[in-house]
Amino acid sequence: MTDNLFWRLPKGPVISTVLLILLGALAADSASMLLYLRFPSVKFAFFLKHILFILVGITLGYILISIKQKFYLRGWLIVLSNIALFSLLLAVFLFPARNGAHRWVEVGGVTFQPSELAKVVLILTLSYLLVNKRANLWQNLTLIYLTAMVGLVALEPDIGTAFFLLALGSFLMLLGRLSFRKLLRWAGILLLLIGVLVLFTDKGKHVRRRIKDFFSKKETRVVSTQAYQALVALGSGGLTGSSPGESLEKFFYLPEAHSDYIFSILGEELGFVGTSAVIFLFLLLLYSGFSAAAYLNNPQASLIAYGVSFSLVFQALINITVNVGLFPTKGIPLPFMSYGGTAMISALLQVALLVHLWAWRRENDT
């Protein structure tokens, strides 16, 4: 690798990412067993696609890390990225809805989810605006920018991702020293608008149903709900689990076991030891990322490192709390582990940004 790049790589993010990918691949293969039985003609296709997504993400990450120049700090890339992203966020409404939502774009038979890419573009854009433009006008433009992105995602509707982008943007704005009073007032108005969307429109039907189920008494919950079956899977795993591939919940009981509930399947097969390992690895990623961010001299690079670390670990926190029944059901993927092409590539690009910032921290920032 260029200039002994291997020795430049930060050990914490690399080790945690590799181990999470391996654990995720193990659980994804097991969780896809029902899909193999339903579609025997394409046996192992889902697992092979999962591996393909990982390889694509690693390849793109390798290309990024190998380039010395921090081109993603430049304004021209920020502009082009946002033109492409907002075009895709609008394009989703031109494609047929899936499960009542317009979240995907299909090009040449390849389907992807623009809202996953929005996480990367949001981090790069806010880091640029908050560091380079401190005038009051630019602060207002920053708020308008995030409002537009969150609003488009909420209208798909993808309320969970919209809230996630709102939290990620607010985190970066607080670090960027945006006026707290202005941020609080703006966030309150945006939350109110999303609340109206959820409570009084057809786009919020599924959200209302999930919230109602979450706050209902345990004895009145439907036994077949995802949340209930996820807890059954985790509880049956015990300390060391039933062993890899031996999950029972993945057979008809737990829908979307290979994506949204991969953590529960891992807990059933590897037990408390396996789930604790996953949590430890995400904490290691958070610690390593925040440590790198605090060490970087470039304020914009530092904000990106903080944003990436928060983004990946906060997603993991939401997914895990849903799996253990502490949060209403929401399809936020578990980074590096859940099945899903765009989500996997987005997560690997984010960690590649963090690794690149550290590997070339002493190089020219332009």
Amino acid 222: pLDDT: 47
Query: Which of 79-88, 155-164, 293-302 is the least confident region?
Result: 155-164
CA distance 112 to 108: 11
Q: In this structure, what are the phi and psi dihedrals at residue 101, rounded to the nearest 5 degrees?
A: -135, 145
Q: What percent of the chain has pLDDT over 90?
A: 43
98 secondary structure, DSSP code: B
**Residue with more model confidence, 116 or 341:** 116
DSSP SS3 for 177 = coil
How much helix, strand and coil, in percent to the nearest 5, is found in the chain?
70, 0, 25
Indicate whether 361 pLDDT > 80: yes
Helices 75-91, 114-132: axis angle to 10 degrees equals 150
Evaluate the CA torsion angle 237, 240, 243, 244 in order and state its sign.
positive
Amino acid 366: pLDDT: 46
Amino acid 87: pLDDT: 95
Amino acid 28: pLDDT: 79
Q: What percent of the chain has pLDDT over 70?
A: 81
Amino acid 304: pLDDT: 97
Indicate whether 154 pLDDT > 70: yes
CB atoms within 10 A of CB 358: 24
Amino acid 309: pLDDT: 97
**Tokens standing for residue 354:** 């963090």
Amino acid 336: pLDDT: 94
Mean pLDDT of the residues in the chain: 84
CA distance 354 to 309: 8
Query: Which of 25-39, 51-65, 126-140, 184-198 is the least confident region?
Result: 25-39
> Are 352 and 64 in contact, with CB atoms under 8 Å apart?
yes
Would you place residue 224 in the very low, low, confident or very high pLDDT band (cuts 50, 70, 90)? very low
CA distance 26 to 20: 10
Question: How large is the average pLDDT for residues 236-258?
Answer: 71
Indicate whether 94 pLDDT > 70: yes
Indicate whether 109 pLDDT > 50: yes
24-27: list long-range contacts, CB under 8 Å, 24+ apart.
Answer: 24/262, 24/334, 24/336, 24/337, 24/338, 25/50, 25/51, 25/54, 26/244, 26/266, 27/262, 27/265, 27/266, 27/269, 27/337
> Are 35 and 251 in contact, with CB atoms under 8 Å apart?
no
Calculate ∠ Cα 252-256-261, nearest 5°. 105
**Tokens standing for residue 67:** 């380039």
Indicate whether 217 pLDDT > 60: no
CA distance 358 to 366: 15
Give which of 40, 141, 152 is closest to 88, Cα–Cα. Answer: 152
